[in-house]
A = this chain, B = another copy of it.
């Protein structure tokens, strides 16, 4: 293994591909879905289940959330996010940029970075490419994301271009600070602040990978430009940002079809924050390798279950005495044991077990779908698989999940 991660493509079927990402902590087979551990835990599902049954090899941690709470001093003191949370497989951390724009109040954007007030207590905070890299170094994740600005899905061309310019400058500064942190030990620092930096970086030494992010909203020419400028800087992997942020579905699919195949083939391609099972299958057909999304656990908390025959909502009265599992085709421990009637009862009764069990099943559904996807690609039958999978999904749509 040379460098922080090792990416190998193991099969190709049209643009779709399977591969493996080896980090110091786990081997991640791609295409992969990464459960979201916003605040250092997967909502509703204990790590034990993720390790033993669901076999998740990588999860996501949110820099914005962890930066605000418990704060980097605590996490650094306790040895990084892995030790703090006890999750010993891989972690990808986002840059915090997206949450600053979607959650924080009173943002003030400058070229230097973004000042904002914490959504928790209103405290004045600041994030910049440099600080994001520092924080992600302290979190000690395997994959670090460059600090970017994410314009709204329906952003006009001019606004998007302006945002993209900023993202490009921030990408360069992210890379620079990241490299400093990872070569700190071999550099002779003189000032005490640089000694502090050195101490912060002492466990890094090139053990983290850095991914760049392609923005450009729905404008294909700007997507092209963003891709070029990001590749020019040079990253260990490339992400598509700014999708599923309010734009129409056909805009998203248009961008994916246009840009994903142009992204460097030898590096992992990551579609950030997307999406439904349909979205994942679409993106995979254009060569995307990595995904994360809060849908499985967020929907799980409101009774929404993903099944091979489409989404259902367990609150629906027709499940009141339904002794079948959430998804008859699912082999997860929830479907093997608990009935729709029972889980519906738990939901109606306000028992947290409802959220726990549905979230568990939903993650199982996403991860098992990725397993099946990998088999289909390896077998050279991805398009046939995709079509029959989508057809089955349409059988029993409850809607409104």
Contact = CB atoms under 8 A, between A and B. Distances in A.
Nearest to A337: B86
Given A86-B337, A337-B86, A348 B69 contact: yes
A353 interface: yes
Contacts of A356: 46, 352, 356
A158 interface: no
Nearest to A73: B321
Interface of A: 39-41, 43-44, 46-48, 65, 69-70, 74, 77-78, 84-86, 320-321, 323, 333, 337-339, 341-342, 345-346, 348-349, 351-353, 355-357
A285 B346 CA distance: 38
This chain: how many copies in the complex? 2
A41 B74 contact: no
Contacts of A69: 345, 348-349
A39 B74 contact: no
A86 B338 contact: yes
A363 to B, nearest CB: 14
A85 to B, nearest CB: 6
A342 B39 contact: no
B70 A348 contact: yes
Contact of A85 (B43, B44, B342): B342
17 contacts: A39-B346, A41-B346, A43-B352, A44-B352, A46-B353, A48-B333, A69-B345, A69-B348, A69-B349, A70-B348, A74-B321, A74-B341, A78-B321, A84-B339, A84-B341, A84-B342, A85-B342
A355 B86 CA distance: 17
Contacts of A349: 39-40, 65, 69-70
Interface centre among A43, A44, A351 (most CB of B within 10 A): A351
Interface centre among A43, A77, A85 (most CB of B within 10 A): A85
A89 to B, nearest CB: 14
A190 to B, nearest CB: 31
A355 B351 CA distance: 12
For the complex of A and B, 9 pairs with smallest distance between CB atoms = A39-B349, A70-B345, A41-B353, A41-B351, A86-B337, A77-B321, A74-B321, A352-B352, A78-B323
A332 to B, nearest CB: 12
A63 to B, nearest CB: 14
Contacts of A353: 41, 43-44, 46
A41 B352 CA distance: 9
Given A321-B74, A352-B352, A39 B345 contact: yes
